[in-house]
Amino acid sequence: MHNPTQKHHRKDPISRRHISWCCSFSDPTRSPENPKPISKQPISSYPNSPKPPSLRNRILSPGRVSPVDPVGQQPKTHVMPVELEMPRLPLEPVSVCKGGEDGFGVFDVRLSLKGRNGGSVVLELSSEVLSGSSCVFADLIAKYRAGCEGGGGSFCRIEVPEVENLSVFQMTIELMFEEDLIKRLMKIGVYRAIDVLEVSAGISFKKGITSCLEYLEAVPWSEDEEEKLKTLFSKFKLNNSISKDILARLYPLDSADSQQTLANQLIWSITTCIDANSRNELKSLVKGLLCKSSVYEKGYPDVNKEEVYAVCRSCIDALVNLFEDASGSDQCGRSGKNEGGKTLIECISMQVDNINWLLEILLDWQMAEDFVTIWVNQGELLCMHERTSPMVRYELSRVSAMLFIVMGTRKLQCASEARLGLLDAWFGPMLLDFGWLQRCKKGLDIKVLEEAMGHLLLTLPLKHQYTLFMEWFRCFSRHGTECPNLSKSFQIWWRRSFLRGSESNAVESR
């Protein structure tokens, strides 16, 4: 009978009404509040409690909680090995004892769960429900009854040692007595449902397996839950149509080549995106995915260098065409609009953004050396730079600025010929465009650019440093702050070229 004071047992009257099992440890301690043993306590257990000394004795009772026989009157027992595919929750030796002749009824199995880290739970269950739910327990009970006197009326005791999570194992056993398993799983959530699925698979609880799979397939997962599912499916092979749907969510069916092709398609799509806000958002997204340090990089194929450079050349070709149009426009780059309603200035800025974004990807994968050579050889753009409005041409110096920064801050190493070629081609245009770069920074750090330009100049042979530093000196004397301030680097060049030179001559004269 239900105890009316235990209100928590009334929460689910439909599912609990027909449950024919209970849990107990031993005879409860008598007290004024508890004058005699309670005969029935449905759905109750005592997890993580130490085993009372009295449990080493034989338990005989017509009720759910039994008085203890005197010490020394132990029943005959046998030990049966159990083979169970459950790495963390093994059913090892099982001891069974005969008893329960005094009206024990359907509660004819005592299941003792022993925690790996201490604690225990004892469940008294119906062999009919237990056998009908799990073929592992059905085999244990059948073997016991076949080897015991008294046949099917005998009381069976099963011990499960080394249980990693007592509450999960107990919850899985409870589900055998539930009418609506999905409803119960919805209450416990995905993470715990995966634990229940693992126990169900270990004890061959087919209804539990099916219900867990149905629930997990229908709900979203977090990344931690996804990794937990992958670990579970690596341990157990669940031949179920629902498990195939879950595996289809866990593992891509396409090959690595298909993933690489998709990455290339994303890059091409972004460089042709019209809306500026969407393009910037997608650039950040894809760059994060393709970044070598990304959490999503695990096992993914490398970025295809040829494909990225093909996109770079396409953007540069588009830039050349746009500058040809700008050269014949109203010198402000505003005349005419393309199919997307963008002006020449907007289109040029978009292509420069694309080129710098691709350069960032190449830098991350240490494949940007060839881009320096490509940019050095843009003679057509250099010619058009001279005859194009400053408010348009300064966009070209945004690409040069990025190269100066990554080379001057040691993020990109190139041969002396490449460094010299870059400065010979684009140092002069940079001096002319610096004022516009200051006014239209677009994320550019001017101080970093000035320092990087000076450091890069100092990597050249001294005679080339002389030519470029003198060009800067003349420009700075005429335009002042409209020109980059390379004073610190100029001083270093002066000391290296003249002061140290005089010292070396003095040494030679001696």
| Cα-trace Rg, the chain | 39
CA distance 450 to 448: 6
Would you state the pLDDT for residue 290? 84
Compute the 3-state secondary structure of the chain and give helix, strand, coil in percent, each to the nearest 5. Answer: 55, 10, 35
CA gap 46, 402 in Å, rounded: 68
Supply 504's token pair: 């070396």
Q: Which residues contact 261 (CB under 8 A, 6 or more apart)?
A: none
Question: Cβ atoms within 10 A of the Cβ of 134, count?
Answer: 23
Cα 413 versus chain centre, distance: 33
Residues contacting residue 168 through CB under 8 Å, at least 6 positions apart = 192, 195, 196, 199
Q: Strand, helix or coil at 34? A: strand
Handedness of CA 287, 288, 294, 299 (dihedral sign): negative
Closest by Cα among 485, 484, 320 to 396: 320
How far, in Å, CA of 459 to CA of 249, rounded? 53
Q: Residue 110 belongs to what H/E stretch?
A: strand 107-115
**Do the Cβ atoms of 212 and 188 come closer than 8 Å?**
no
**For the chain, what is the total number of helices (H) and then of strands (E)?**
21, 6
- Looking at residue 291, what is its pLDDT? 81
- The CB-based long-range contact list for 501-508 (8 Å cut-off, 24+ gap) reads none
Cβ-based neighbour number of residue 310 at 10 Å: 14
**Residue 262 pLDDT:** 83
Angle ∠(172,175,181) on CA atoms, nearest 5: 120
How many Cα atoms occupy the beta-carbon half-sphere of 112 within 13 Å? Answer: 22
Q: Which residues pair with 134 in a beta bridge?
A: 205
Alpha carbon 407 to its chain's center: 33
pLDDT of residue 36: 39
**What residues does 158 pair with on adjacent strands?**
111
Q: What's the distance, CA 197 to chain centroid?
A: 22
**CA distance linking residue 72 with residue 67, whole number of Å:** 15
For 9, what's the count of Cα atoms within 13 Å in the CB-facing half-sphere? Answer: 17
Over the chain (510 residues), the average pLDDT of each successive run of 10 is 43 39 36 37 36 31 31 37 39 39 60 89 90 91 74 72 92 93 95 96 94 96 95 89 91 67 88 90 90 56 85 96 81 55 90 96 93 96 93 96 97 95 97 96 95 97 95 95 95 86 48
